[in-house]
């Protein structure tokens, strides 16, 4: 019997993974070394992996497997205590080439494997492998995804595919659906996964039956490492300087003792002994004043200092145990810590056409938002492999603590002219824990069974979200001796808790079959199930003045820091009033069951078919109440039959023509269906759910031509069409006005989305014979998209019937220059731009037109240098070099009484809000022990 490893006295290693042309791992592949061909070898395990220990030197590997052409890998350099990692692709035997031995160098084989995943995937896809990630300076998965064609990243963590917002994308990790890290939206924060622990990332842009059916943009599949090829222990630290924040006055409002650790110390929570909602609302003013003293006064400026540089620390550890029974146990641990202190300067306005003097502005506020953020994360995987079986236990934990303080000043014109000063602060604590138990089993007949059991916990705590506005007359705006007076009706204190549990499982079985003369054909079938349960509750308060004639009016003009102190909570002062409604809590559950069958086969020597059908049964129930106390239930049940077909025609060994067609769906999130209104004081809007929302049914067609001129290079062009039946859009409620803006959701009748996409990735070796030009790549990819929405016959007022879909950008552009050689230096220059998109659909061109988010050009530069005998690495990152404003605007001019073209025109369009974030310069160091 061939064992998993063999070794010499020295400590060099060759490790690798062997795949077939369909990117499936090949188990049982025989691997021998030239000089020891008569003395045994190794066989790949269930994941197609192998490990060989050798003396330092240069080696050649010979690989063979039944049904595949033999392969020889030359020029494999093994150093003392070094690890040479390879990804090898085996080609199936054909009638024309029945006894071929393919010979290639180790360097060329690895480069070939990087794009083989993309070239030979059944679906139209783009990916990035561990080898590319290892040679890049990227620290986390969010940065890695910037390098994938057709994708962009919002806020360095949220993925956008083909210009479609997070609603239309889905993420999986190790074959399990990732829970959203944002409970109020469908988005996963990819920056929490360290790049060093990624095995590969694939983004599927067309559907297959074995992929989730709830997407229209892309499926992001992240695979993390489990059994390391060698033991490792790495530590790293980094700091970064922001051009508008670091070293400047920092006013986060209130910070507790444990905020740097990512935990609130309890000082922001509702105090012990505070009555329940019914108990508090039944109290008279005097009793409520006494209870109000229990609430800690954290209003105003309570921190003195300057913003510190952003800092990050990481630790990763891996251990491999080779057992006597030829099995292996692998364990990987990663810990991350980040803290940032940022200032965001912005302006905010809203519009009312009755005030033509300022183009309809209802107010013009200047905002300074101070953000203090701590993030801690952990990843732990432990796996056991022996022969054709692998069992793995994988865990991911992340906690994000963010507290922000908004200082707002400026004039208000709506209803009456006034000068406004306001402070508001919000603390959000988000926790995510995801755990999986998975198995991978290869059978004697080359069939394969994989299974996965998973659980995810999502928590969101909003302790003491508060706001305090003050006003005085416009005539007194510049008079320091005239104090501002508090607007008590808007002195909110908001407490909320969300808890969501998700439990699921899936199983997949594939069986090789011989069809149409193709021995590598396979039938695959599988099932999956996921159950989610969520509970949400909130309590909302505001301050009232005493109803007695003895009220102390001097309290109304006290400073924000002292106005709500304990001494002012008494019979002649203030007391809290609870204004929590019955709509301010809900519970929800959903159940998704799915099954599929899929065929992957070559119909002819050049034509490959992959497709089948997926059936998804999905039901959800959201329970809340209306203002009168009557129960409100949103309940839907759907059964969706989702066929998909993918044809790939190989014009030659280096080019493909692809055609794909599929049906998918897009489902509303719990928050979007719940009869609950949430006030966002930063945007100055309320966001309310719609219990009548339905899921969108999507039809997708793609045609793509791709060429792979040489290893590591690609040229491709695609056209695509997407039809959305009842797409979900966010819109401005018709009952809104500038001081009471309301966003909600509705289903449009249908939408059509079509576009073209092109990509070029080219090595610059044609410029000369220098070796370093082999490692210098230029790449560019762009998508141009047109979309239209139909709302005919719907009882929904919209401002522009000939507009694009809400959230759809008309173009996405990525380009860059990267150098990632075998030496000590790596560098990249990346540029990204996403075109303007509708933030919220307007309700009337003369009232509230569509609100657009303008595109920004983001330019990033990264360079890394290995030092200390390649055990250390120094990285320099410069992010958002151009520091362009983020602008939200409305296309409307009162002097012409019409909507202008949708792209932003400075000086003409109404600026609803704008922000500037600053450029960041970061330096980090990692050392491998």
Residue 598's Cβ-side half-sphere holds a number of Cα atoms within 13 Å equal to 26
Q: What are phi and psi of 356, to 5 degrees?
A: -75, -20
Model confidence pLDDT, tens digit, residues 688-706: 889 899 999 999 999 999 9
Strand-pair category, 218-224 with 42-43: unpaired
C-alpha–C-alpha distance, residues 727 and 697, integer Å: 8
Query: Among 739, 684, 729, 733, which residue's Cα sits nearest to residue 843?
Result: 733
What's the domain range around 729? 310-545+581-928
Q: Strand, coil or helix: what is 190?
A: helix
- Evaluated on CA atoms 646, 651, 654, 657, the torsion sign reads negative
pLDDT of residue 146: 65
Tokens 């990267």 label which residue?
818
Q: Give which of 431, 853, 857 is closest to 683, Cα–Cα.
A: 853
Number of domains into which the chain is organized: 2
Is pLDDT of 193 > 80? no
Query: pLDDT: is 224 or 450 the higher one?
Result: 450
- Specify if 873 maps to a domain: yes
Render 623-677 in DSSP notation, one character per residue: EEE-TTS-EEEEEEEEEEEEEEEEEEEEEETTEEEEEEEEEEEE---HHHHSS-E
Q: Which residues pair with 502 in a beta bridge?
A: 456, 532
Checking if the pLDDT of 357 tops 90, the result is no
654-695 pLDDT tens trace? 889 999 999 999 999 888 888 887 777 667 788 888 989 999
Is 628 or 834 the better-scoring residue by pLDDT? 834
Domain at 94, CATH number: 2.60.40.1120
Mean pLDDT lowest among 263-272, 813-822, 916-925? 813-822
Q: Which residue has tokens 């360290």? A: 194
Higher pLDDT, 129 or 425: 425
Please list, in sequence order, all residues whose beta carbon lies within 8 angstroms of the beta carbon of residue 147, skipping any fewer than 6 positions away.
Answer: 128, 132, 136, 138, 816, 818, 828, 830
Cβ distance 867 to 759 under 8 Å?
no
Q: How confident is the model at residue 828 (pLDDT cuts 50, 70, 90)?
A: confident
Output the six-digit token pair for 648.
């790939």
Q: What is the pLDDT of residue 583?
A: 85
- Amino acid 292: pLDDT: 95
* pLDDT at residue number 915: 92
Q: Is the pLDDT of residue 578 over 80?
A: yes
Residue 790 domain flag? yes
Provide the Cα torsion 810, 185, 627, 546; round to 10°.
-100
Angle at 239 between CA 233 and CA 244, to 5 degrees: 160
Which residues, at least 6 apart from 342, have a Cβ–Cβ distance to it below 8 Å? 242, 245, 307, 310, 370, 371, 373, 917, 918
Average pLDDT of the segment spanning 338-348: 93
pLDDT tens figures, 25-43: 888 888 888 755 444 578 8
Give domain status of residue 208, yes or no: no
3 state SS of 446: coil
Rounded to whole angstroms, how far apart are CA atoms 846 and 862? 47
Q: How far apart are CA 412 and CA 425, in angstroms?
A: 21
Q: Which residues of 336-370 are buried (b: 16+ CB within 10 A; e: fewer)?
A: bbbbbbbbbbbbbbbbbbebeebbbbbbbbebebb
Q: Is residue 264 part of a domain?
A: no
In-domain check, residue 400: yes
Higher pLDDT pick, 869 / 638 = 638
- How confident is residue 358, by pLDDT bands cut at 50, 70 and 90? low
State the DSSP code for 306. Answer: B
Residue 733: per-residue pLDDT: 86
Q: How far apart are the C-alpha atoms of 662 and 615, rounded to whole Å?
A: 13
What's the CA gap between 279 and 277, in Å, rounded?
Answer: 5
Q: CATH number for the domain including 316?
A: 2.40.170.20
Q: Do the bridges between strand 685-688 and strand 741-747 make them parallel or antiparallel, or are there none, so unpaired?
A: parallel
Q: Which residue has the higher pLDDT, 738 or 286?
A: 286
What are the pLDDT digits (tens) for 473-498?
A: 988 888 989 999 999 998 989 999 99
Is residue 395 exposed (0-12), middle (13-18) or buried (19+ Cβ within 10 Å)?
middle
Nearest in space to 828 (alpha carbons), one of 874, 771, 779: 779
* Res. 723 pLDDT band, cuts 50 70 90: very high
Whether 352 has a pLDDT exceeding 80, the answer reads no
Query: Does 146 fall in a domain?
Result: no
Rounded Cα distance between 538 and 315, Å, is 37
* Chosen domain end from 112, 129, 148: 112
311 or 802, higher pLDDT = 311
pLDDT confidence of residue 891: 82
Question: How far apart, in Å, do the first and last CA atoms of the chain sit?
Answer: 36
What token pair was written down for 659? 């055609």
* Residues sharing a CB contact under 8 Å with residue 96, sequence separation 6 or more, in sequence order: none
Give the mean pLDDT of the chain.
Answer: 85
Of residues 851 and 774, more confidently modeled? 851
Average pLDDT over residues 916-924: 93
The reply to whether 329 falls in a domain is yes
Mean pLDDT check: name the lowest of 14-23, 240-249, 300-309, 319-328: 14-23
Report how far residue 810's alpha carbon sits from residue 163's, in angstroms, rounded to the nearest whole number.
7
- Compute φ and ψ for 490, nearest 5 degrees: -110, 15
| 3-state class (DSSP) for residue 766 | helix
Neighbours of 692 (CB within 10 A): 11
| Across 4-19, average pLDDT | 65
Edge-to-edge, what's the strand order for the sheet holding 83-89? Answer: 49-54, 12-19, 83-89
Least confident among 146-160, 301-315, 372-386, 855-869: 146-160
φ and ψ at residue 648, rounded to 5 degrees: -125, 120
Q: What pTM was estimated for this model as a whole?
A: 0.87
Which of 65-79, 141-155, 545-559 ranks highest by mean pLDDT? 545-559
Residue 851 has pLDDT above 80, yes or no: yes
Rounded to an integer, the average pLDDT of 411-429 is 88
pLDDT tops 90 at residue 223: no
**Which pLDDT does position 204 carry in this prediction?**
85
821 or 261, greater pLDDT: 261
- 557: CB partners within 8 A, 6+ apart: 483, 484, 485, 486
How confident is the model at residue 852, as a pLDDT?
A: 92
What confidence tier does 921 reach under pLDDT thresholds 50, 70, 90? very high
> What percentage of the chain exceeds 70 in pLDDT?
87
Which of 112, 139, 172 finishes a domain?
112
Least confident of 447-461, 608-622, 750-764, 892-906: 892-906
CB 511 within 8 A of CB 522: yes
pLDDT in the model for residue 420: 93
**pLDDT at residue 413, rounded to an integer:** 82
* 3-class SS of residue 771: helix
Where among 82, 112, 142 does a domain terminate?
Answer: 112
Is the confidence at residue 3, as pLDDT, over 60? no
- Token digits for 532? 């989610």
pLDDT at 286: 95
Binned at pLDDT 50, 70 and 90, residue 6 comes out as very low
pLDDT of residue 642: 96
Instruction: Give the number of other CB atoms < 10 A from CB of residue 127.
Output: 20
What pLDDT, in 10s, does the model give residues 86-131? Answer: 888 887 776 544 455 666 655 556 555 656 666 777 777 776 666 6
CA separation for the pair 38, 150 (Å, rounded): 49
Residue 132 within any structural domain of the chain? no
* CA distance readout (Å), 272 to 63, 360, 464: 69, 48, 14
pLDDT in tens, 858-890: 898 989 898 998 889 899 989 899 999 999 998
- Structure token pair of residue 1: 């019997």
pLDDT score of 425 more than 60: yes
């Amino acid at each position: 019997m061939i064992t998993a490893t063999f070794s010499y006295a020295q400590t060099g290693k060759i490790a690798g993974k062997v795949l077939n042309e369909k990117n499936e791992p090949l188990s049982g592949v025989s691997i021998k070394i030239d000089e020891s061909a008569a003395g045994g070898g190794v066989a790949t395990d269930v994941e197609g992996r192998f490990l060989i220990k050798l003396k330092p030197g240069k080696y050649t590997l010979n690989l063979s497997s039944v049904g595949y052409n033999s392969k020889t890998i030359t020029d494999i350099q093994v150093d003392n205590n070094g690890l040479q990692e390879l990804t090898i692709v085996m080609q199936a035997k054909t009638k024309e080439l029945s006894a071929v031995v393919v010979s290639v160098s180790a360097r060329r084989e690895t480069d070939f494997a990087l794009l083989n995943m993309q070239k030979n995937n059944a679906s139209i896809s783009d990916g990035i492998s561990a080898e590319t990630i290892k040679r890049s300076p990227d620290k986390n998965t969010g940065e890695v995804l910037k390098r994938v064609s057709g994708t962009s990243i919002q806020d360095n963590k949220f993925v956008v595919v083909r210009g479609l917002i997070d609603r239309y994308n889905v993420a999986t990790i190790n074959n399990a659906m990732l829970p959203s890290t944002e409970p109020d939206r469908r988005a996963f924060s990819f920056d929490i996964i360290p790049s060093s622990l990624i095995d590969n990332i694939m983004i599927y842009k067309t559907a297959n039956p074995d992929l989730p059916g709830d997407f229209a943009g892309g499926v992001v599949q992240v695979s993390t490492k489990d059994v390391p090829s060698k033991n490792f222990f790495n530590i790293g630290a980094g700091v970064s300087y922001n051009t508008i924040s670091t070293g400047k006055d920092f006013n986060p409002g209130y910070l507790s003792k444990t905020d740097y650790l990512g935990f609130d110390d309890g000082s922001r929570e509702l105090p012990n002994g505070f009555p329940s909602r019914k108990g508090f609302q039944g109290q008279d003013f005097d009793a409520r004043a006494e209870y109000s003293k229990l609430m800690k006064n954290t209003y105003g400026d309570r921190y003195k200092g300057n913003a510190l540089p952003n800092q990050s620390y990481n630790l990763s550890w891996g251990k491999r145990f080779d057992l006597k029974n030829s099995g292996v146990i692998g364990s990987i641990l990663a810990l991350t810590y980040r803290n940032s202190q940022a200032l965001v300067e912005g302006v905010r306005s809203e519009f009312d056409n009755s005030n033509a003097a300022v183009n309809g502005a209802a107010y013009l506020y200047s905002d300074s938002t101070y953000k203090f953020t701590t993030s801690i994360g952990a990843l732990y995987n432990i796996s056991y492999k022996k022969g054709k079986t692998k069992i793995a236990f994988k865990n991911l934990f992340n906690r994000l603590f963010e507290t922000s303080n908004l200082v707002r000043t400026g004039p208000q014109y709506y209803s009456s002219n006034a000068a406004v000063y306001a402070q508001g602060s919000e603390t959000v604590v988000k926790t995510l824990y995801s755990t999986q138990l998975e198995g991978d089993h290869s059978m004697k007949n080359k069939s394969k069974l994989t299974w996965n059991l998973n659980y995810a916990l999502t928590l969101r705590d909003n302790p003491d979200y508060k706001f305090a506005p003050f006003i005085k007359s416009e005539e007194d705006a510049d008079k320091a001796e005239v104090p501002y007076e508090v607007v008590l009706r808007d002195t909110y204190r908001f407490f909320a808790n969300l808890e969501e549990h998700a439990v699921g499982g899936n199983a997949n079985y594939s069986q090789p079959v011989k069809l149409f003369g193709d021995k590598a054909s396979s039938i695959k079938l599988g099932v999956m199930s996921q159950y989610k349960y969520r509970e949400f509750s909130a309590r909302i308060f505001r301050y009232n003045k005493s109803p007695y004639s003895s009220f102390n009016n001097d309290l109304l003009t006290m400073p924000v820091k002292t106005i709500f102190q304990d001494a002012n909570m008494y019979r002649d002062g203030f007391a809290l009033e609870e204004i929590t409604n019955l709509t301010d809590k809900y519970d929800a559950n959903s159940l998704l069951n799915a099954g599929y069958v899929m065929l992957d086969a070559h119909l002819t020597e050049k034509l490959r078919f992959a497709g089948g059908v997926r059936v998804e049964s999905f039901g959800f129930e959201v329970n809340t109440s209306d203002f009168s106390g009557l129960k409100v239930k949103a309940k839907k049940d759907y059964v969706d039959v989702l066929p998909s077909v993918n044809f790939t025609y190989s014009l030659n060994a280096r080019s493909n023509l692809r055609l794909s067609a599929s049906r998918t769906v897009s489902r509303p999130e719990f928050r979007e269906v719940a009869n609950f209104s949430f006030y966002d004081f930063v945007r100055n809007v309320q966001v309310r759910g719609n219990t009548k929302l339905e899921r969108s049914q999507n039809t997708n067609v793609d045609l793509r031509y791709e060429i792979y001129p040489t290893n590591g290079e690609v040229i491709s062009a695609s056209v695509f069409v997407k039809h959305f039946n009842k797409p979900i859009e966010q819109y401005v409620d018709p009952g809104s006005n500038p001081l009471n803006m309301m966003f909600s959701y509705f289903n449009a009748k249908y939408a059509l989305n079509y576009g073209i996409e092109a990509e070029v990735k080219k090595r610059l070796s044609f410029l000369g014979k220098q070796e370093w030009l082999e490692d210098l790549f230029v790449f560019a990819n762009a998508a141009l998209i047109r979309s239209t929405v139909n709302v005919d016959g719907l009882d929904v007022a919209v401002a522009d019937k000939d507009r694009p879909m809400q959230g759809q950008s008309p173009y996405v552009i990525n380009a860059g220059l990267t150098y990632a050689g075998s030496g000590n230096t790596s560098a990249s220059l990346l540029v990204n731009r996403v075109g303007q998109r509708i933030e919220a659909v307007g309700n009337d061109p003369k009232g509230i037109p569509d609100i657009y988010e303008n595109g920004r050009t983001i330019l990033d530069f990264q360079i890394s240098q290995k030092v200390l005998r390649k055990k250390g690495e120094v990285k320099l990152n410069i992010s958002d070099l151009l520091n362009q404003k983020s602008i939200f605007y409305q296309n409307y001019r009162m002097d012409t009484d019409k909507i202008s073209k949708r792209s932003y025109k400075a000086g003409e369009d109404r600026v609803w809000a704008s922000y500037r974030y600053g450029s960041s310069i970061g330096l980090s160091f990692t050392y491998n022990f």
